[in-house]
């Protein structure tokens, strides 16, 4: 199937400006772009959808341009927001832009000529107010701009002129890339439709004959209606320092049966036949979670690599089986990053009873005695029932950690 049919099968096309003409145009290599505003020093799981779509188009022979908004990031996109963005300094935006460039390079590979990276500060920083109003603003009526959803949804609460003008700046990006780099399509989330089609309008009004295109993709939500890309701990980041590969793996592995097949279509490069086979497994043997394992495996390799996948699977298996003593210090730091941690003030031996109270595992020595006597306390996966037990250096993993478990699931990490 061609690239448009593949995107349709995967449920990834929300709107297209002229599908018939686009299908014909995509028979030859086409340059297209997507923008990323640097509002943080890392992209997150929600951004991954459009990155994967750019990779799909790239694999089909087309040339992606990743535009990081070093200029527009100083303004803030009102799309999908109910309040004004907090404006960052130029230095912060520049540092975020550089971080995003490094992340995007992992997927698109800017150094081999098959993809291009640009920062729109290159042309927006030198754009004068008069030039902007004459060459861009003159082509848009207030009525046209007010009709866009990104503006309509903000009218009641209020929108500043700063964010109101964002649409024009993004339109100028498209025009500039069209004229300078032969870019004929902009892609983005469905909330970007108004901004993208404004770019088409500007290109048309500037008298260009070669047709330009717009394509958007659905904003992903989970089957229960909750926002995709969030967990109990907040956003799921691509940066391994912000979201460890283990947590990343678990995020995908914990996809519900109602979501997992769609996620396989959206995010992985598995074939239709492979996805359909996994869909049958979900229906026939959901307890085996084969589809979730495949999803977690594919997404962890894509973002973090084979070695990170091995670590994530090893941590998962150790926690499932209770054999946490098998873990290395590095794996413990990943798997227990969000677990309550107690930093011991001594390198000496310590009584188990005292440690349980000092670390907050138990509220009192009386409770600690009951838990030990009842077999509810585990040290590095091993049950301890001796009230006089003393923990020594031999109990420490990598001479730095002891993992305490109370009951089935309550973990506390002791760090020496």
In 3D space, the residue among 159, 136, 132, 142 whose CA is nearest the CA of residue 78 turns out to be 159
Three-class secondary structure of residue 66 per DSSP: strand
> What's the CA gap between 302 and 79, in Å, rounded?
28
Per the CB < 8 A criterion, the answer to whether 261 and 308 are in contact is no
DSSP state of 44: B
- Phi then psi for residue 184, to 5 deg, are -120, 5
The DSSP string of 290-322 is HHHHHHHHHHHHHHH-HHHHHHHHHHHHHHHHT
> Is 272 known as a binding-site position?
no
Identify which of 99, 110, 5, 113 has the alpha carbon closest to the alpha carbon of residue 56: 5
Strand arrangement of the beta sheet that strand 410-415 belongs to: 341-343, 410-415, 401-406, 377-379, 382-383
Pairwise CA distance, residues 89 & 410, whole Å: 42
Of all residues in the chain, what percent are helix, strand and coil, respectively (each to 5)? 50, 15, 35
> 410 a known binding residue?
no
CA distance 21 to 24: 5
Angle at 168 between CA 173 and CA 24, to 5 degrees: 55
Give the C-alpha separation, 23 to 19, whole Å: 6
Alpha carbon distances (Å) from 345 to 9, 292, 350: 58, 41, 11
Which helix (H) or strand (E) segment holds residue 65: the answer is strand 63-68
Exposure letters 70-98 (e unless 16+ CB within 10 A, then b): bbbbbbbbbbebeeebeebeeebbbebbe
CB-CB contact of 204 with 175 (8 Å):
no
Does residue 249 have a known ligand-binding role? no
230 known member of a binding site: yes
The answer to whether residues 72 and 124 touch, using CB atoms and an 8 Å cutoff, is: yes
Q: Please report, in range form, the residues annotated as the binding site for ATP.
A: 230
Q: Please report, in range form, the residues annotated as the binding site for L-tyrosine.
A: 33, 166, 170
Q: Please report, in range form, the residues annotated as the binding site.
A: 33, 166, 170, 230
């Amino acid at each position: 199937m061609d690239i448009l049919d593949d995107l349709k099968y995967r449920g990834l096309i929300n709107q297209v400006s002229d599908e018939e003409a686009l299908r014909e145009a995509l028979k030859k290599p086409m340059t297209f772009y997507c923008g990323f505003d640097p509002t943080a020093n890392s992209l997150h799981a929600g951004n991954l959808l459009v990155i994967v779509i750019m990779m799909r188009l790239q694999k089909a022979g087309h040339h992606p341009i990743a535009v990081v908004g070093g200029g527009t990031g100083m303004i803030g996109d009102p799309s999908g927001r109910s309040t004004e963005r907090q404006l960052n300094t130029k230095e912060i935006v520049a540092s975020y832009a550089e971080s995003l460039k490094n992340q995007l390079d992992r997927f698109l590979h800017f150094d081999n000529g098959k993809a291009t990276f640009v920062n729109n500060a290159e042309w927006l920083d030198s754009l004068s107010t008069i030039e902007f109003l004459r060459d861009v603003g003159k082509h848009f009526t207030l009525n046209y701009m007010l009709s866009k959803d990104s503006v309509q949804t903000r009218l009641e609460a209020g929108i500043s002129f700063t964010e109101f003008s964002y649409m024009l700046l993004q339109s100028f990006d498209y025009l500039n890339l069209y004229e300078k780099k032969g870019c004929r399509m902009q892609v983005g989330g469905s909330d970007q439709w108004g901004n993208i089609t404004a770019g088409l309008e500007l290109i048309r009004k500037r008298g260009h004959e070669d047709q330009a295109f717009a394509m958007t993709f659905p904003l992903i939500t989970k089957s229960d209606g909750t926002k995709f890309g969030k967990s109990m701990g907040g956003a799921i980041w691509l940066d391994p320092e912000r979201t460890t590969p283990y947590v990343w793996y678990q995020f995908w592995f914990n996809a519900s049966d109602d979501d997992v097949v769609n996620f396989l279509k959206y995010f992985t490069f598995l074939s239709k036949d492979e996805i359909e086979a996994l869909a049958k497994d979900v229906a026939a043997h959901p307890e085996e979670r084969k589809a979730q394992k495949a999803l977690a495996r594919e997404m962890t390799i894509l973002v973090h690599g084979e070695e990170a996948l091995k670590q994530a699977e090893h941590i998962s298996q150790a926690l499932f089986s209770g054999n946490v003593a098998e873990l290395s210090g590095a794996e413990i730091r990943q798997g227990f990053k969000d677990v309550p941690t107690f930093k011991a003030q001594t390198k000496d031996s310590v009584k188990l009873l005292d440690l349980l109270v000092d670390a907050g595992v138990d509220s009192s020595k009386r409770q600690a005695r009951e838990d030990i006597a009842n077999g509810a306390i585990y040290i590095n996966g091993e049950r301890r029932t001796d009230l006089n037990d003393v923990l020594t250096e031999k109990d420490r993993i990598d001479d730095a950690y002891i993992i305490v478990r109370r009951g089935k699931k309550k973990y506390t990490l002791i760090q020496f």
